[in-house]
Structure 1
Amino acid sequence: MTVTSSAVGDGYLVRSLAVTYPDGFVISDHDHPWGQLVHGRTGIMRVETEGRVWLSPATRAVWLPAFRPHRIVMKGAVAMRTLYLAPEAAADLPGAAAVLEVGPLLRELVLHILAIGMLDPAVPAHARLTNVLSDLMAAAPREDLALPLPSDPRARALAERLHAQPDDRTDFPALARQTGASLRTLQRIFPRETGLSLEGWRQKARMIHAVAALAAGASVTGAALDCGYDSVSAFIAAFKRAFGTTPARYRP
């Protein structure tokens, strides 16, 4: 949709916010009447919404449609750069949360809009910038960096542990005992509530952490160790199976 100065009322098309948060800072559950592009220039954001948890490194951003309750946890110091898009400006964007690749042009446009502050439909140049922003976001490659979260309390506790400690090599029988559920029970719950087997969930959690680590500047060897791999070659093979490309593509 092309936004023009006559397409909307007197409200702004895009609002912006720049805040730096310390490691561990939590933005509790909330939502917005406008769509939100959440981008961190540094650090990693854990974004939880729609029963899924996402990791967004500096080379990615999370798109949150309007009225989607979400929670954000900072991993490392996060220089958050956020844009809020009015419904008219977000008409062509996904109706569900998504991780977008932030290429050089989109990244510079976000910073340019932040420098302006707000985009006013009464200013033709602002309407044009809004159109470019919407087009770039709509065209940005999507990436599956989300993990579905189980609702069962025992499975949820295990999922949170696996997500927080991707290098944990504790076997599943021992992990099950610590949750108070049998391994067979957990093996039934995970596919039913997440669509992934217990082993598949753990493997995907490790691969998503690897993407975040690589994007933050970790070496391939460092990312492999962070995700519980002793063998770099085994890690690269698993990564290629998961994403269809080598880990080096995700390094800045």
Structure 2
Amino acid sequence: MQSHAQGHLVYAASGVLAVHTERGTSVVPANRVAWTPAAFTHHHRAHGDTDMRIVFLAPSLARLIPAHPAVFLASGLAREVLLALTSPGNHEDAAPGHSRAARARLLRVLVDELREAPEQPLHLPEPQDDRLRAIARILHETPAEGATLAELGKTIGASTRTLSRLFRSELGMTFYEWRTQLRICHALVLLADGHDTTRTAYACGWANPSSFIAAFTDVIGTTPGRYRIDSRGYQGTVRPW
């Protein structure tokens, strides 16, 4: 785990990244950007053939975007700016490819684009309550688990009413919304690792591929099949800086 004095953006030009902080996990498919504010302890994990780009933001720019970890859809312009900022020789202030002033202008354009971009529902909050943590462990280990909240409550010794209240007050969503989000996150990883739609659907708890496709499309904005093609992303040779 590590933290930085500056907040940073992580862009998956291809593949899938998982960014873990004390607040939870952000899953970053191709052409999405994960924002981690300064001082958040974090680590990254890559899935599939991942091309990861990192851009640090000074406090004067970081204050213009959310103070919490978030994932944004990268616009075409944001994507090109990110690639330009992280191309060979351009990842430092004194890089020969861009002057310091030019790099500052590109960073401002990038931040302006992110300010206009909607946050993606790809951040899975990490519960703090011990009862919710116990449920989270079960579902992370077996995302296909189809037990109801009442059944899980019996396993850990908590009432449905108490657990429902905790999900809403602590995580800001219902149990079923949280579990769906967790399953989508697992699905993104499996697809990036080469699994097909049918296998991924059953591995993540959907009764059939069609219901998985509908849920995936609702959250990600494209079908799993289309996503697998898109996740190949930018076919460059630059690796993480």
TM-score (norm 1): 0.70
Q: What pairs up with 1:55-204 in 2 under 5 angstroms?
A: 55-75=27-47, 78-114=50-86, 115=88, 116-120=90-94, 123-170=100-147, 172=149, 175-176=152-153, 178=155, 180-184=156-160, 185-204=162-181
Q: Label 1:88 to 1:201 Cα distance change in 2 as closer, same or farther (>3 A).
A: closer
Q: CA deviation at 1:226?
A: 3.3
Q: Which amino acid aligns with 1:127?
A: A
Q: How many Å separate the matches in 1 of 2:29 and 2:193?
A: 7
Say whether the 8 Å CA contact 2:187–2:204 is kept in structure 1.
yes
**Unaligned runs of at least 5 residues, structure 1:** 1-27
For residues 176-205 of structure 1, the C-alpha deviation after alignment (integer angstroms, 9 at most, x for no partner) is 455x32353544433332233333321222
For residues 96-127 of structure 1, the C-alpha deviation after alignment (integer angstroms, 9 at most, x for no partner) is 22101234543343232222121359643333
Say whether the 8 Å CA contact 2:143–2:203 is kept in structure 1.
yes
Q: How many Å separate the matches in 1 of 2:45 and 2:138?
A: 15
Q: Label 1:157 to 1:72 Cα distance change in 2 as closer, same or farther (>3 A).
A: farther
Say whether the 8 Å CA contact 2:150–2:159 is kept in structure 1.
yes
Q: How many Å separate the matches in 2 of 1:188 and 1:94?
A: 26
Say whether the 8 Å CA contact 1:215–1:250 is kept in structure 2.
no
Q: Label 1:212 to 1:137 Cα distance change in 2 as closer, same or farther (>3 A).
A: farther
For residues 180-239 of structure 1, the C-alpha deviation after alignment (integer angstroms, 9 at most, x for no partner) is 323535444333322333333212222343355556775543442332223222223434
Say whether the 8 Å CA contact 2:47–2:189 is kept in structure 1.
no
Q: CA deviation at 1:143?
A: 0.6
Alignment correspondent of 2:234: none
Say whether the 8 Å CA contact 1:42–1:77 is kept in structure 2.
yes
Q: Which amino acid aligns with 1:58?
A: A
Q: CA deviation at 1:159?
A: 1.0
Alignment correspondent of 2:184: 207
Q: CA deviation at 1:145?
A: 0.9
Q: CA deviation at 1:67?
A: 2.5
CA RMSD of aligned residues (A): 3.3
What's the secondary structure of 1:142's corresponding residue?
A: coil
Identical amino acids, percent of aligned pairs: 36
TM-score (norm 2): 0.72
Q: Label 1:199 to 1:130 Cα distance change in 2 as closer, same or farther (>3 A).
A: closer
Q: What pairs up with 1:22-33 in 2 under 5 angstroms?
A: 28=1, 30-33=2-5
Say whether the 8 Å CA contact 1:214–1:247 is kept in structure 2.
no
Q: Which amino acid aligns with 1:198?
A: F
